[in-house]
Structure 1
Amino acid sequence: MTSPERTGRLALPGVLTATEAAATAAGIAAVQRPDGAIPWYRGHHLDTWDHVEAAMALDTAGEHERAAAAYDWLARHQNPDGSWYAAYADGDAARPTDLAKESNFCAYPAVGVLHHYLTTRDEPFRRRMWPVVHAATEFVLALQQDGGQLGWRRDPDGSAVSEALLTGSASGYHALRCALALAALDGAHRPDWELAAGRLGHAVRGHPERFLDKSRYSMDWYYPVLAGAVRGSAAAKRLARHWDDFVVPGLGVRCVLDNPWVTGGETAELALALWTAGQPARAVGVLRSMSHLRDGDGMYWTGYVYPDDALWPAELTTWTAGAVLLAVAALTGDEATRAVFGGERLPRGLAPDCCRAGT
C-alpha cells in the first residue's frame, strides 16, 4: 500500500491530499500484474503508451520498484525491430491482440525511461534501457515522412501507413527529445535524430495540412503545447483559441467537440499543458473541475456524459489516474516531472533548411 508519507509532496489544495494521492497510486499498483505490466484495468488490454503513463505516475508517488518493473516488462516484450504491438491482452502471457505497430506508442517509452532515471538516478537502469530506447527510436524514425511528420503505424503485414496524426506526431516529438537526452547521457552523438526532431517539431508547429484532420478531438488542440512543440505566446494563443469549444466549466474537457462528454484523461492532460504554458492557476482550476470523476477508491472514471448525468464508459482506468498524478506532480514541484514536461533542458533538434528559409 502506497504510504501518504511518500505522497506528501503531491498534496495540492482543492485537488488531492497526500492520503488521496496515495490512494490513487495504490489503485494503479493494484492493477499492475506480477510481471510488471499495467493494463487499462484488470481484464482489459494494455498498450505501451498508457502503460508508460501509469509507470511515470508510480514514480511520482515513490513507487520506484514498481515503475522499474513496468519498464523491464517493455524490455522483455520489445520486438526485434524495436517496436511493440498496439495492444496486449491482460494476462501473464502478454498475448498481442492488435499486431499493428503505432509510432506514437513505440516512441513514448523514451519519455518514461528518462523520467524514471531523473527520479532515481539509477545508472544500471539507464544503461539497461538505452538499447531499448535506441531500437524503438530507430523504428519510429523509419516512419517519418518527407514533411517531417510521423506516419502513424505499420500494419500487421509490415506495410507503412504514411498518413500522420497531429497528436501522435506531437507526442513523438516529445519522445524524440527525451531519446536525445538519453543519447547524450550515454555519450552517443545522433545528428540524424537531431535533424529528425527539428523537422518533426516544425511540422507540428506550422503545417496542419500534413496531418489527418482530427480537429474535433481536444487532443489535437492542446497536445502540441503539452509536447513542447509550441511554447511562449504561441502556446497561450493556441490554448485560448478553442477554450470555449472544449472546456465545460465545472466538469472538465470534452474529448470530442460534437459530443457532450467530458473525459478525465484529457482534462488532466490539459492541466499539464497549462502548466507548461505558464498558467498554473488555470491548471489547478481545470483539475478541480474533474473531481466528480474520482471514485471512492482513489481511481478515476474515464468520462461523464453530462446531459444524461451518466458515467461512461463504466471503467476506472490506470492512465486516467496516471495523468492526474503527473499533472499534480508538475504543479507541486516534482523535479523529474517538470524536467521531462517542461522541456527547457531537453534537446530541441536541428532546424531544417525549410525553417532557416522561413517556410
Structure 2
Amino acid sequence: MTGAGRIERLALPGVLTAEEAARTAAGIAAVQRADGAIPWFRGHHLDPWDHVEAAMALDAAGEHERARAAYRWLAWHQNPDGSWYAAYADGAADEPTDRAKETNFVAYVAVGVWHHYLSTGDDAFLDGMWPTVYAAVEYVLTFQQPGGQIGWKAEEDGSRRTEALLTGSSSIHHALRCALAIAEHREEPQPDWELALGLLGHAIRHHPERFLDKSRYSMDWYYPVLGGAVTGVAAKERIEERWDDFVVPGLGVRCVVPNPWVTGGESCELALALWAMGESDRAVDVLRWIGHLRAEDGMYWTGYVFEDEAVWPQELTTWTAGSLLLAVAALGGDEATTAVFGGERLPAGLEPECPCGMEA
C-alpha cells in the first residue's frame, strides 16, 4: 500500500483525520536524525524500545525508508553481546547516558523488524536484520529464571538484576513471538526460544509472585493482555477488574494510582489491548479522550495532571505520537499492525509442565 493509502487508513472519526495523521507522522519524522535515530525529542535521549515504537508508527504511515533507517541504526550500534544501552544522548550512539541494559528494551527489535517486513515484504531487509534479532534474543534469554520470568536488566558494572518486571516480561513475550515468526519465515526453527516463550507465558498467566509488585502502575494491568500472554475471558476479566482504578473517563488512563495524571502512551496502549480483545468501541473512546493532549504541530504531550489542569511534563514525545498512530492503525485494519498486535498468527511457544497444576 502506498504512503497516501496508509495515511487514509489512519483516519478515525473523532480521533484523527487523514491530514492530522499525516501531520503526526511528519512530527515524528522531523525528530529523526540523519543516521536514523529517533530520540524522545531533539535534545533528549533515545531508548531502544521507544525508538522501535516510533519506527513502527512511521511504517504504519507509509514512511518505510525512514523506518528502515531506524532499524539500520540498531543494527549498526548493537553491542557485541547483542544488547543496546538503555539511553543515548539525543540518539548519538557514541554518547550513552545510561549504560544499563534493559532486557525488554533489547528484545523489542524483533517486534519492529517483523512489523516492517509485514509492511513492506522486503526479504532482503529481513535477511539483513536476522543476525541483529538473533543476537538480541539470545542475550535476553540469558536472563530467564527457572520460573520462566525474565530478569530486569544488567547494571553498568555488569551485575545482573534477576528480579522480573511483569510489564517488561510481557513485552518480551510479545517480542519472542515475533522473533519466532521471523525464524519460521526463514525456515530456521528455534526450539529453545519456543520453550522459553512457553515458560514465560505460563509465569505471566499463573505466577504473579514471580514478578516485582508494581500493581500501582497501569502497564502491569494491561500489558499481559497487550503482550499476548493473557487472552479471551481471562483478558476481559483482568481489564474489568481494575478499569475504575486506572481509567478516567473523558481524559485517559492514569500512569500510576492514585496520582491524578493521565498519559497518552498508556492510554493508546490500553486502546491497543482493548482492540486485541475485540472491544474496538471502547478502544476508540479512549483514543478520543486523549485529543486534549494533541499539540498544534500534530505531536502529543506526554501527560496531563487533571487536578491542576496542567500539561506535565512539557514534552512532546515521539513515542506518545507513535503509540497513537499504531492504535489507530490497528483499529483501521492495517495488515502489518493487526498481525503484530492481534497475535492470532504469531507462534505461541511450547507449553511447559508445571507442578502448580495450572494449564499453561
Could you say whether these structures have the same fold, taking a TM-score greater than 0.5 normalized by the shorter chain as the test? Answer: yes
Q: Which residue of 2 aligns with 1:288?
A: 288
Contact 2:77–2:93 (CA under 8 A) maintained in structure 1? no
- Report whether the alignment pairs 1:193 with 2:180: no
- Counterpart in the other structure of 1:174: 174
Name the aligned partner's letter for residue 99 of structure 1: R
Give 1:59-74 correspondences, 5 Å limit.
Answer: 59-74=59-74
Could you tell me which residue of structure 2 aligns to residue 111 of structure 1? 111
* AA in 1 matched with 2:213: D
Q: Who is 2:9 aligned against? A: 9
Q: Which amino acid aligns with 2:115?
A: H
Residues 5-29 of structure 1: CA deviation (Å, up to 9, x unaligned): 5401111000000000000000000
Q: Give the TM-score, by structure 2 length.
A: 0.97
In structure 1, C-alpha distance between the alignment counterparts of 2:156 and 2:207, rounded to whole Å: 29
Whether contact under 8 Å (2:10, 2:21) holds in the other structure is yes
Structure 1 residue 358: deviation in Å?
A: 3.0
Asked whether 1:252 is paired with 2:252, we answer yes
* 2:237 alignment counterpart: 237
Residues in 2 aligned to 1:91 and 1:246: alpha-carbon distance in whole angstroms:
32
Matched, 1:164 2:164: yes
User: Which residue of structure 1 aligns with residue 88 of structure 2?
Assistant: 88
> Structure 1, residues 110-150: CA drift from partner, whole Å, max 9, x if none?
00000000000001100000000000000000000010000
- Percent identity at matched positions? 72
What letter corresponds to residue 265 of structure 1 in structure 2? Answer: G
Q: Which moved more, 1:182-191 or 1:37-46?
A: 182-191
Other structure's SS at 1:51 match: helix
- Counterpart CA distance in 1 for 2:317 and 2:293 is 11
Distance 1:91 1:208 in 2: 35
Alpha-carbon shift at residue 92 of structure 1 (Å): 4.3
Q: CA RMSD, aligned part only?
A: 1.3
Superposed CA offset, 1:84-106 (max 9, x none): 00100115454111111000000
Shift in Å, 1:206: 1.1
- SS, match of residue 161 in structure 1: strand
Map of 2:323 onto structure 1: 323
Q: Which residue of 2 aligns with 1:138?
A: 138
SS of aligned partner of 1:250: coil
Return 5+ residue gaps in structure 1 as ranges: none
Any unmatched runs of 5+ in structure 2? none
Residue 203 of structure 2 is matched in structure 1 by: 203
Over 3 Å counting, the alpha-carbon distance change for 1:3 and 1:171 in structure 2 is closer
Contact 2:180–2:194 (Cα < 8 Å) also in 1: yes
Once the two structures are superposed, the pairs formed by residues 41-80 of structure 1 within 5 Å of their partners are: 41-80=41-80
**Within the alignment, does 1:214 sit opposite 2:206 as a pair?**
no
Distance 2:306 2:9 in 1: 33
3-state SS of 2:153 partner = strand
Report what 2:183 is aligned to: 183
Three-state SS of the structure 2 residue aligned to 1:354 is coil
Q: Decide whether the 8 Å contact of 2:10 with 2:16 is kept in 1.
A: yes
Task: Give a deviation string over 1:293-322, Cα, whole Å, max 9, x none.
Answer: 000110000000001000000000000000
Describe the SS at the equivalent of 2:235: helix
Q: Once the two structures are superposed, what CA deviation does each residue of 1:55-96 show, in whole Å capped at 9, x if it has no partner?
A: 000000000000000000000010000000010011545411
2:38–2:91 Cα contact (<8 Å) kept: no
